[in-house]
């Protein structure tokens, strides 16, 4: 569905910019029997519920006109949240030096879930506390505001 999400990103980006927002991510996912189009917005200082409502109103008509999805779906516009998932290359690059939590699909060096500092990212390779893995091998990498983190 990358093509659908790319089209929607292109549609949403200028609309978000007009509202002083940026697009963090666009996902089209199936959960149970239902499909969801999720547009995650961001802005300096955080996203309010009013921002989500304004973006929903701004994109609703243009999205109906573009009609990139033929099946029924639910549109959701929200903030990526404090524990935002890092999914795109630009996310990883922007948050080098930040605290993250990771869940891998398969263990690497005996670890599947851990927290640490995002040290590096290049060509899909992620390094967290000297452990390097491919982005596609992670269920998620999310920002983490864990005050009790102590490097070992």
Cβ(26)–Cβ(9) below 8 Å: yes
Residue 19 and residue 9: Cα distance in Å, rounded?
15
| pTM of the predicted model as reported, rounded to 2 decimal places | 0.81
Q: Which domains does the chain have, with CATH numbers?
A: 2-78 (3.30.300.70), 89-143 (2.30.30.100)
What does the pLDDT read at residue 147?
54
The helix (run of H) or strand (run of E) holding residue 21 is none
Average pLDDT (118-134) is 95
Neighbouring residues of 152: CB distance < 8 A, sequence distance ≥ 6: none
Residue 83 and residue 103: Cα distance in Å, rounded?
13
- Tens-digit pLDDT profile for residues 7-44: 999 999 999 999 999 999 999 999 999 999 999 999 99
Mean pLDDT for all residues in the chain: 91
Token code pair at residue 123: 């060509």
Q: What are phi and psi of 120, to 5 degrees?
A: -160, 155
- Tens-digit pLDDT profile for residues 71-99: 899 999 999 988 899 999 999 999 999 99
């Amino acid at each position: 569905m990358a093509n659908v999400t790319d089209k929607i990103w292109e549609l949403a980006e200028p609309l978000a910019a007009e509202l002083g927002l940026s697009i963090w991510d666009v996902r089209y996912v199936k959960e149970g029997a239902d499909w969801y189009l999720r547009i995650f917005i961001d802005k300096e200082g955080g996203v309010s519920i009013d921002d989500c409502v304004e973006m929903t109103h701004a994109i609703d008509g243009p999205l109906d006109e573009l009609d990139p999805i033929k099946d029924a779906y639910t549109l959701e516009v929200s903030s990526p949240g404090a524990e935002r998932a890092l999914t795109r290359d630009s996310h990883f690059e922007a948050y080098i030096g930040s605290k993250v939590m990771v869940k891998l699909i398969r263990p690497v060096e005996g670890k599947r879930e851990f927290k640490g500092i995002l040290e590096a990212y290049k060509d899909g390779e992620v390094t967290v506390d000297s452990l390097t893995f491919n982005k596609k091998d992670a269920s998620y990498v999310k920002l983490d505001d864990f005050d009790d983190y102590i490097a070992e």
